[in-house]
Amino acid sequence: MARRAICISHATGAEGEAVGQEVAKRLGFQYVDEEVISEAAEWADLDPAFVADAERRKPFVARLLGAIGEQKSPRLQTVDTGRTLPSDADLRQLITTAIASFVRRGSVVIVAHAASFAVGSGDVLRVFVTASPKTRAERLVPERGVDGREAERVVKDEDAGRAAYLKRFYGVDQELPTHFDLVVNTDVLTAADAANVIIAAS
């Protein structure tokens, strides 16, 4: 059956963004990534950077102090008004609610934000785009302008960060293939090839 939405999770260096953009283009769907954060922030009248830091595991106090120091407009919290700022749990709820809102609208490809864990099965195709650590590190060398050793470290660190994010946001102790409807390995497949597979399954 035709799916209302496609959620694409991806490992660093697996080319998940390129795959998602190709899928959205060919299906005529909206491509959504940072729009999730922007919508969540708009609902709560917060700076998007403040909300995004909840995903980046930045401590709440550091996030608050940084926002105060960097704020150029009155939109974010003004501490002297006594406004109660949302907790990390509140911010997580905002993000997952924003994801669900995009899914309800349909005809959307949502990339990142572990969207597959924020929605149920059914009208949503949940996809994980991955590749071997070696391939992913090799891609990061030109992409981020680092050497091979540094690229390997980045892959390892960001994989650990992803695992911590899933644990903190969704209580997932270990990410498994069965959390998804489809797992695509881009070691050999190009972004276009991967898009073909996803579209065929949608």
CA-wise closest residue to 39 among 118, 100, 112: 100
Query: Same domain, yes or no, for 14 and 61?
Result: no
pTM of the model: 0.80
Query: Same domain, yes or no, for 77 and 43?
Result: yes
Residue 73 lies in a domain: yes
Q: Which domain holds residue 58?
A: 34-88
Residue 93 lies in a domain: no
Query: Same domain, yes or no, for 154 and 173?
Result: yes
Residue 101 lies in a domain: no
Query: Same domain, yes or no, for 53 and 138?
Result: no
Count of the separate structural domains present in the chain = 2
Query: Same domain, yes or no, for 16 and 38?
Result: no
Per-residue pLDDT of the chain (202 residues; tens, 9 = 90+): 456 899 999 999 999 999 999 999 999 999 998 888 888 788 777 777 777 776 665 443 333 333 334 444 434 443 344 556 677 778 788 888 888 889 988 899 999 878 888 887 667 999 999 999 999 999 999 999 999 999 999 999 999 988 988 888 888 999 999 999 999 999 999 999 999 999 999 8
Whether 95 and 40 have beta carbons less than 8 Å apart is answered as: yes
Residue 94 lies in a domain: no
Query: Same domain, yes or no, for 137 and 197?
Result: yes
Query: Same domain, yes or no, for 136 and 186?
Result: yes
